[in-house]
Amino acid sequence: MALLDRALVHLLPAVPRPIVRRIADRYIAGEEIEDAVETVSRLNADGMTATIDVLGEEIHNADEAQEIVDAYHDSLDAISEHSLDANISVKPTAVGLKLGYDVGKANIEALVQHASESGNFVRIDMEDSTTTDDTLRIYRELRDARLDNVGVVLQARLRRTLDDIAVLADLRPNVRICKGIYLEPESIAFTDFEEIRASYVRSLEALADTASYVGIATHDEFLISEGKRVSRGRFEFQMLLGVRESLGRDLVTDGERLRIYVPFGRQWYEYSLRRLQENPRIAGYVATDTVGRLLSRNGG
């Protein structure tokens, strides 16, 4: 399977878009805000909360960044209008961080202010390690400006994460902890599966002491059971749309809070490709999933 994973990762850019779309379909609500509203309504009816992500990390100019920002403002309005139980997750580079620190920060700040008007919340996603310092700086500056309806993400994969937890402690931050999707060099990141898991558990335990709230983002059963042990009902679990849905339903049945990450937007292709390429394990899941669908279609 490892060979197939690697082959798939390299072949993906050559795969026709409609096929990538089909593979990635279950991970994305659709292209329009209405699709996200429909998906979130369904999740809410099933006892889950959501966080909406506007797809579009590959922006090249201020106009493109503004388009994404506008879609987030529309998402906040739609959440209020439809009384959805959902917040938003924002990638700093999608709203202009690479165009300039001040551009990214101003756009996130405007969204946090908008969200606060309706008692809502903004999660700042964490991207690759070239953005970690700036992202944490934006978070601290917003909190220093008394904007408290904002949270950040830390990645267990990064060796620096325990230090970051200590540095953020004075803010009593609201943190999503995840493994980290971006493959980083060994000099700054754990690369071994078990080491990443161990770092996740250490980070979670540290956050339980210092954070105001924790989003435990994982589909890893070992980490979910560690999450239950550490959280004791205080925190929430988070999963990606379309991933391990039965595990998610089990969490809800057990009385745990579960938030589903719901991406939507026209830039689904870049998101899908990036996800599939940057985490070779996911290519394996996709292959299994596709074979599984074909077998079940054939009655197998």
Ligand X SMILES: Cc1cc2nc3c(=O)[nH]c(=O)nc-3n(C[C@H](O)[C@H](O)[C@H](O)COP(=O)(O)OP(=O)(O)OC[C@H]3O[C@@H](n4cnc5c(N)ncnc54)[C@H](O)[C@@H]3O)c2cc1C
Residue numbers at the binding site for ligand X (CB under 6 A): 125-126, 153, 155, 178-182, 217-220, 223, 238-240, 243-244, 261, 279, 281-282, 285
Beta carbon of residue 159, minimum distance to ligand X (angstroms, whole number): 15
State the Cα–Cα distance between residues 260 and 223, nearest whole angstrom.
17
State the Cα–Cα distance between residues 164 and 168, nearest whole angstrom.
6
C-alpha dihedral sign at 181, 132, 91, 50: positive
- Both tokens of 258, joined, read 């579960």
Beta carbon of residue 217, minimum distance to ligand X (angstroms, whole number): 4
Of the pair 87, 120, the CB lying nearest ligand X is at 87
The three-state secondary structure class of 31 is: coil
Of the pair 28, 178, the CB lying nearest ligand X is at 178
Of the pair 30, 92, the CB lying nearest ligand X is at 92
Residues in contact with 269: Cβ distance below 8 Å, sequence separation at least 6, in sequence order: 17, 20, 21
The three-state secondary structure class of 42 is: helix
Beta carbon of residue 222, minimum distance to ligand X (angstroms, whole number): 9
CB 140 within 8 A of CB 134: no
Beta carbon of residue 53, minimum distance to ligand X (angstroms, whole number): 9
Of the pair 67, 236, the CB lying nearest ligand X is at 236
State the catalytic residues. 125, 176
